Amino acid sequence: KAGVTQTPRYLIKTRGQQVTLSCSPISGHRSVSWYQQTPGQGLQFLFEYFSETQRNKGNFPGRFSGRQFSNSRSEMNVSTLELGDSALYLCASSLAGSFTYGYTFGSGTRLTVV
Amino acid sequence: SQKIEQNSEALNIQEGKTATLTCNYTNYSPAYLQWYRQDPGRGPVFLLLIRENEKEKRKERLKVTFDTTLKQSLFHITASQPADSATYLCALSNRDDKIIFGKGTRLHILP
């Protein structure tokens, strides 16, 4: 079966712009989580969606937002980009939460802000 | 604040030996602990999950222990192979499923 698909794989944006990243979870998975990964901070939790509702949220500013559609696909939006937003953004899906089967991650979107 | 610590230095192990990675945590009472493997340019891959009431879990050449008194998990790879070289991440979660990850330990298996 197809894995978690993230698009695009790479993005270069300018400071002040906004960006939208997309994630298609494994078919049947209803939970989608987003993470930011940087060399200095490691993997940091952004938010989790389950059946179109945000279930958990990390400690990121309001410039970071997300949503989930009825087909479980999810999008993440970052507005007013800053240089520090350069990172690998990872999406992870699971059937109903990670505590039984763990998460399946996509390969990520590498965002570079210049 | 909640903190997870993994060996920040890379770990070099001779092929065939057992690699042991450590995950320590503070200010947290996890219900679950997970281990993931991450290769360069790829997302993490789920390996094992252990619950707070379990002491040990095994899967093929992998073994995980979970000591809630010491606030520590050990991750073992027996009969290590060069293909096991990767970064290994420890992750903790509570029943609300809010997961926090460690920064990972880079493991090099030397042929």
Nearest by CB to residue A103, choosing from B42, B46, B103, is B46
Nearest 5°: the CA angle B42, B48, B51 is 135
At B19, phi and psi to the nearest 5? -95, 135
Above 90 in pLDDT, residue A40? no
* Distance, CA of A47 to CA of A35 (rounded, Å): 7
* A1 — pLDDT class (breaks 50, 70, 90): low
Contact A102 B97 (CB under 8 A): no
pLDDT digits (tens, 9 = 90+) for A73-100: 999 999 999 999 999 999 999 987 767 7
Collect all residues of chain A within an 8 Å Cβ-Cβ radius of residue B49. 98-102
CA B94 to chain centre: 17
Nearest by CB to residue A90, choosing from B43, B49, B103, is B43
pLDDT of residue B3: 85
pLDDT digits (tens, 9 = 90+) for B8-36: 789 999 999 999 999 999 988 888 999 99
* Distance, CA of A49 to CA of B24 (rounded, Å): 28
Contact B34 A101 (CB under 8 A): no
